């Protein structure tokens, strides 16, 4: 058996997460491909099996799966601080950039110039998405059953317009029911990685990643406070627009099964038609900006928040920039907070299934 790599320091990981937040173009498929290429293939911080196990869990959750995967891997390697650092740094560069571009768009009407600058990136982004889909598909679609499940899921979602959560649950159930032979082969094949990694197939679950009811209660309690305290502050001092944004985007974060494209109609209906925070044309322009900046595609909500804060003058007409930036931060906070709670609360439960082939097969 090969000797695992030496432990990776928190600061080395922090540098990687900061870099990742600046280069994570290409939507979730491209971002997951970058994570795989860097952490599994190049740096060998985590094995293929452990990476895919984490990814399968994140794909089941509402919210941005690539950001959740980064949070999960950061948590697995360096405890809660590592998870928070990875998740925040995955989003922070995009937030700063979108606030800047949104200000140029709202204040100076230079959106055509900005869109022109990013038009050159779109072919490269498309190529990265195609390459990422091929890379992940070649690793995941390894049996006729998995090909059949992938084709059936595509037909169910794209052709029959079935709810994405229902399709995911059905695929997991089929994987579980048909896993008697495949699960054992999956376990035996996954136990022979091509190269050693720091967190390898046989690496014991770290102490901080083991499930305990006390830890689960602490995480859920902290998450509740991190929601309630800012919401109470907005209720007391923020005004009705910021209050409505906090509530609406919390709801959006909990129904984003299927990725950003699945939730955009919901956001469009609420932000444009129901609340009138921005126009339909502005929403489309914001989506164009979101597609050509790093970070999760769902970060388009930061543009929605900025535009809404600007047009509604949430801090008054003399503080348009400050009010719009505050609205963008509020929207981002309430959109991503559930993802951190899902990972930090559910991660130990997922790690406990590492040695359970039938459950691992259902996740796969």
Give the model confidence (pLDDT) of 248-267 as tens digits: 999 989 877 666 666 777 88
CA 155 vs CA 149, 151, 158, 159: distances in Å:
10, 6, 5, 5
Structural domain includes residue 325: yes
pLDDT tens for the chain, 364 residues long, are 455 567 899 999 999 999 999 998 777 888 999 999 999 999 999 999 999 999 989 988 888 999 999 999 999 999 999 999 999 999 999 999 999 989 988 887 665 665 565 555 556 545 655 655 566 566 667 778 777 877 887 787 667 766 655 666 677 677 666 654 444 444 444 444 456 778 887 888 889 999 999 999 999 999 999 999 999 999 999 899 999 999 999 998 987 766 666 677 788 889 998 999 999 888 888 887 777 788 888 999 999 999 999 999 999 999 999 999 999 999 999 999 999 999 999 999 999 887 655 555 555 5
**Cα–Cα distance for residue pair 244/175, rounded to 1 Å:** 41
Q: Which two tokens stand for residue 227?
A: 């929601």
Whether 176 maps to a domain, the answer reads no
Is there a domain that residue 202 lies in?
Answer: no
Question: What is the domain extent for residue 317?
Answer: 7-142+212-354
Q: What are 199's strand-pairing partners? A: 46
DSSP tag of 6: P
How far CA 258 is from CA of 65, 163, 265, 290, 309, in Å, comes to 9, 9, 12, 17, 28
Closest among 70, 49, 66 to 361, alpha carbons compared:
49
The 3-state secondary structure of 211-276 reads CCHHHHHHHHHHHHHHHHHHHHHHHHHHCHHHHHHHHHHHHHHCCCCCCHHHHHHHHHHHHHHHCC
Let me know: does 7 contact 79? Beta carbons within 8 Å.
Answer: no
Q: Which residues contact 16 (CB under 8 A, 6 or more apart)?
A: 38, 43
Is residue 59 one of the residues assigned to a domain? yes
What pLDDT score does 189 carry?
A: 45
The interaxial angle of helices 65-108 and 320-351, nearest 10 deg, is: 170
* Paired residues of 46 in beta bridges: 199
Question: How many whole angstroms separate alpha carbon 100 and alpha carbon 193?
Answer: 44
Residue 345 · residue 278 · CB < 8 Å: no
Residues, the chain = 364
pTM score? 0.79
**Would 177 be classed as within a structural domain?**
no
78 within domain boundaries: yes
217 in a domain, yes or no? yes
- Total domain count, the chain: 1
pLDDT number for residue 284: 82
**Comparing C-alpha atoms, which of 247, 313, 252 is closest to residue 277?**
313
Residue 170 lies in a domain: no
């Amino acid at each position: 058996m090969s000797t695992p790599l030496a432990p990776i320091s928190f600061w080395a990981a922090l540098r990687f997460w900061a870099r990742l937040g600046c280069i994570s173009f290409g939507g979730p498929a491209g971002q997951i491909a970058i994570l795989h290429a860097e952490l599994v293939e190049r740096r060998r911080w985590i094995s293929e099996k452990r990476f895919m196990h984490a990814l399968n869990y994140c794909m089941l959750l509402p919210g941005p799966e690539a950001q959740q995967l980064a949070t999960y891997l950061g948590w697995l390697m360096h405890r809660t601080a590592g998870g928070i650092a990875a998740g925040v740094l995955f989003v922070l560069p995009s937030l700063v950039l979108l606030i800047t571009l949104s200000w140029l768009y709202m204040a100076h009407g230079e959106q055509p110039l900005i869109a022109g600058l990013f038009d050159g990136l779109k072919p490269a982004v498309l190529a990265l998405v195609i390459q990422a889909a091929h890379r992940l598909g070649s690793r995941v679609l390894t049996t006729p059953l998995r090909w059949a499940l992938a084709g059936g899921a595509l037909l169910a979602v794209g052709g029959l317009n079935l709810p994405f959560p229902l399709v995911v649950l059905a695929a997991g159930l089929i994987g579980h029911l048909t896993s008697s032979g495949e699960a054992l082969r999956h376990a035996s094949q996954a136990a022979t990685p091509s190269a050693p990694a720091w967190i390898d197939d046989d690496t014991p679950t770290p102490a901080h990643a083991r499930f305990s009811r006390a830890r689960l209660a602490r995480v859920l309690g902290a998450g509740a406070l991190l929601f309630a305290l800012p919401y109470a502050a907005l209720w007391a001092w923020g005004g009705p627009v910021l209050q409505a944004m906090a509530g609406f985007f919390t709801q959006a974060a909990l129904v984003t099964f299927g990725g950003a494209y699945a939730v955009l109609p919901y956001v469009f209906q609420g932000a444009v038609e129901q609340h009138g925070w921005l126009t339909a044309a502005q929403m489309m322009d914001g989506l164009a900006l979101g597609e050509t900046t790093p970070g999760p595609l769902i970060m388009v909500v930061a543009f929605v928040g900025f535009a809404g804060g600007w047009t509604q003058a949430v801090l008054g007409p003399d503080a348009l920039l400050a009010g719009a930036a505050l609205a963008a931060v509020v929207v981002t906070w309430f959109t991503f907070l559930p993802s951190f709670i899902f990972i930090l609360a559910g991660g130990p439960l997922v790690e406990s299934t590492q040695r359970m082939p039938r459950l691992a097969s259902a996740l796969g």
